[in-house]
Structure 1
Amino acid sequence: MEKLLLLLALSGSAYMIVGALWKVVKAVAKVVTAVSRPSLTAKTHQSKPQTSPQPRPQPRPQPEVDWSKYDIPTFIRRGIPMPKLEPVKVKSTKTRKRRSKAKAAVTQAENAPTFEVVA
């Protein structure tokens, strides 16, 4: 188990080192490309050739959906006879009331003792 943890730690460290080296290589590449470009002052003296801007591509027109075919109900379009609808029955409300069990269990006489005598 310890060997596995050691291998995982080593692979994690190697991954971090490779990531750091990659960042350094990218930074050096940016510096090299910035240095190799001609200076901006040299570009200002040269006239820029006139180029026409590229026309933007027009979005494709969406196909129009013929909604008129949906005005007729589906069962008629498919040749199915008119469905027979039944009225919805209204549920009656419950008239039962809940009774607590504690009240039903208390049926002691008024003169009965409320304690138990142990001899």
Structure 2
Amino acid sequence: MNADRRGCGYAPDSPFVELAVEVFAMLADATRVRIVMALQDAGELSVNHLADVVDKSPAAVSQHLAKLRLARIVATRQEGQKVFYRLENEHASRLVADAIFQAEHSLGGTPRHHHADQAVVS
């Protein structure tokens, strides 16, 4: 596979399709989705702060962050003994936002994100 080939990968025969599936698989976990949402809101958080936000143990959050880091969805910055996590780019948060919006559509009616008074994450 020539996935490292540069150029637009948005085509049915793209070598990036398999990698896109891996991204979806990485985000197919509620805790990881919550981590992405928390980092979108806060910008940068420590493991302990993320654990509080997503209501999981720091050890569990650390394991999820390690996977997200390997997938290059999150990046780190170290300050003394503390490590802070942030989203590598805006794409994961857009995927999560679109998934949440799609889930809202499954309820029927007009989803909240279509109301003019609702802020939309992008």
TM-score with structure 1 length normalisation? Answer: 0.17
* Structure with greater strand share of residues: 2
Q: Give the greater-gyration-radius structure (CA).
A: 1
Return the structure number with greater relative CO, CA threshold 8 A, min gap 6: 2
Return the structure number with greater helix share: 2
